[in-house]
Amino acid sequence: MTNRFRKALVIGAGIAGPIAAILLRRIGIEAQVFEAWPHSTGIGGGLQIAPNGMHVLADAGLASDLMRRGSICESIDFYAQSGARLGSVNRDMARRFGQPSLSMRRAVLNEAIIEKAWSSHVELFFEKRLARIEDRPDQPIVAHFTDGSSAEGDFLIGADGVHSAVRDHVVPDAPKPFDTGLLGFGGFLPRSLLEAAGAGPNLAMTFGRSGFFGYGYCGPEPRHGAMCWSTQPTHDRDAAAFRAMDQAALRQHLRRFHAGWHDPIPQMIDALEEIVVTATLDVATLSTWSRGRTLLIGDAAHATSPHAGQGASIALEDAYRLVCALRDQPDTGIAFQNFESERRPRAEQIVALARRNGNQKREFSASGAWIRDRMIKVMMPFTARSWDWIYGYDPRKVTAQPGTSFQRDRQAA
Ligand SMILES: Cc1cc2nc3c(=O)[nH]c(=O)nc-3n(C[C@H](O)[C@H](O)[C@H](O)COP(=O)(O)OP(=O)(O)OC[C@H]3O[C@@H](n4cnc5c(N)ncnc54)[C@H](O)[C@@H]3O)c2cc1C
């Protein structure tokens, strides 16, 4: 591995890829980003970026614009199916962690990131689906695309998400994404419905005997400024079977599944403009995140089920910390190892937490659900504080030691 790394090939223009490219440009590394799909706007559901991810968006110059286009979430409030309040977490995040938690449409986030990449002179190529990687000694690394074209660089970053093709190059017998047995149904609806129900700037999350329902504001637009999602055990139908159903049948399914749940859940189901179905995927731990001059970041390295609301935030952390590792260590291979040894423990802890949270959304007996709800209520004050290590992490305040050991310092209180 040589000291000269001047051009990065970045596969995937989701969240981690273009942010890494923007930050690489700042340290003088040219970055080309290749995305499998055509450039489009308006795609995807809603998501939340936590303070730990917001620090990176702020560093990239995106936070204030996104705060205008999203909705700051001032707490997460938990309820039982009946509507009984169980407690709140994540209060006062901006004061405690230096950034708020922000709910927004995924499309808003992606559009802002892509615009920023363009204005930062990152070269973006759409409809370039990676087919294979060629990494020969003393030659540039080559990305070959399914349209027959190719690109050469000094190293390659796989930011191509849960179904990563780069992962197959890094770990030839890599575990495949598996279905966790939970399905997601989500969409957007008018803000007026939540305003009429007296909802504050919070996310509300309701645990049922079977499944889960979450909702809140996600932006200022009257028509699409609120979002909701239902998580359910898969039972006899998978995501593909639900996607084959029309919107009326999906709505009917949601009405039946959430019949008797507290207001405004039934009204929200009726008001959903378009219901999108997602499988909840997970990937077992990889034996390594890098091979030669190729490194995985974000979901490609540590795909996480969405139940900790952290996948995008830790993908952003990765992008930031990778650029620090490359800045501090001229040898790409050592920089990649340093990056992995720093990032792996944190990422794996968050992935494990998301798995445990997902288990709270499965099928419970009536008494099991009652006990779970009591436990949530009693444990809430401790739960609230036990997540501070996630939100209080500021990737800009981590110092890398020479070699492979990294140390956190000056963490936000
Ligand atoms: C329903 C749902 C809700 C979620 N909610 C949240 C939330 O509230 N908060 C949160 O933090 N996280 C959430 N997540 C997780 C979050 O979306 C991911 O963790 C995050 O998008 C990972 O970012 P990434 O850049 O690693 O990958 P991605 O955002 O998935 O981007 C990967 C990109 O690579 C492209 N690509 C794939 N293969 C190729 C190829 N062969 N060649 C070229 N390009 C390729 C893809 O098209 C995509 O654009 C949620 C996930 C789901 C499914």
Residue nearest atom 4 of ligand 1, based on CA coordinates: 306
3-state secondary structure of 102: strand
Looking up tokens 């995985």 gives 296
Ligand 1 centroid to residue 298 C-alpha, Å: 8
**Is the C-beta atom of 335 inside 6 A of ligand 1?**
no
User: Cβ distance 254 to 231 under 8 Å?
Assistant: no
Atom of ligand 1 nearest to the CA of 318: 26
**Are 49 and 60 in contact, with CB atoms under 8 Å apart?**
no
- Among the listed residues 358, 373, 377, 369, the one whose alpha carbon sits nearest the alpha carbon of residue 308: 358
Residue ID of nearest Cα to ligand 1 atom 20: 312
Q: How far is the CA of 375 from the centre of ligand 1 (A)?
A: 32
- Domains, the chain, in order of start with CATH, read 7-70+105-177+283-360 (3.50.50.60)
What is the position in ligand 1's atom list of the atom closest to the CA of 186? 1
Residues 63, 112: Cα–Cα separation, whole Å: 10
| Residue 306 near ligand 1, beta carbon < 6 Å | yes
Closest-CA residue, ligand 1 atom 37, reads 160
Question: Is 203 touching ligand 1 by the criterion CB < 6 Å?
Answer: no
Q: How far is the CA of 312 from the centre of ligand 1 (A)?
A: 7
DSSP 3-state helix, strand, coil percentages of the chain (rounded to 5)? Answer: 40, 25, 35
Pocket test for ligand 1, best of 160, 242, 387 (most atoms within 8 A of CB): 160
DSSP string, 230-277: EEEE-TT--HHHHHTS-HHHHHHHHHHHTTTPPTTHHHHHHH-S--EE
pTM for this model (two decimals): 0.93
Candidates 343, 258, 359, 265; CA nearest to 308 is 359
Residue with tokens 């702020």: 58
DSSP string, 336-357: HHHHHHHHHHHHHHHHHHHHHH
Ligand 1 touching residue 103 (CB < 6 A):
no
Amino acid letter for position 175: P
Share of the chain above pLDDT 70, in %: 95
Q: What is the pLDDT of residue 370?
A: 86
**Token duo for residue 48:** 């939340």
34 CB within 6 A, ligand 1:
yes
Residues 6+ apart with CB under 8 A from 52: 97, 310, 313, 314, 316, 317, 390, 391, 392, 393, 394, 395
159 lines ligand 1 (CB under 6 A): yes
Closest residue by Cα to residue 188 from 43, 361, 13, 357: 43
CA of 368 to the centre of ligand 1 (A): 34
Among protein residues, the one whose CA lies closest to atom 26 of ligand 1? 298
Distance between CA 136 and CA 293 in Å, rounded? 10
Rounded to the nearest whole angstrom, what is the distance from the C-alpha of residue 304 to the centroid of ligand 1? 10
Average pLDDT, consecutive stretches of 10 residues, N- to C-terminus, the chain (413 residues): 70 98 96 95 87 98 97 94 91 92 96 97 97 96 98 98 97 92 95 96 94 96 96 90 96 97 97 94 95 97 89 98 96 96 97 83 80 85 83 88 38 34
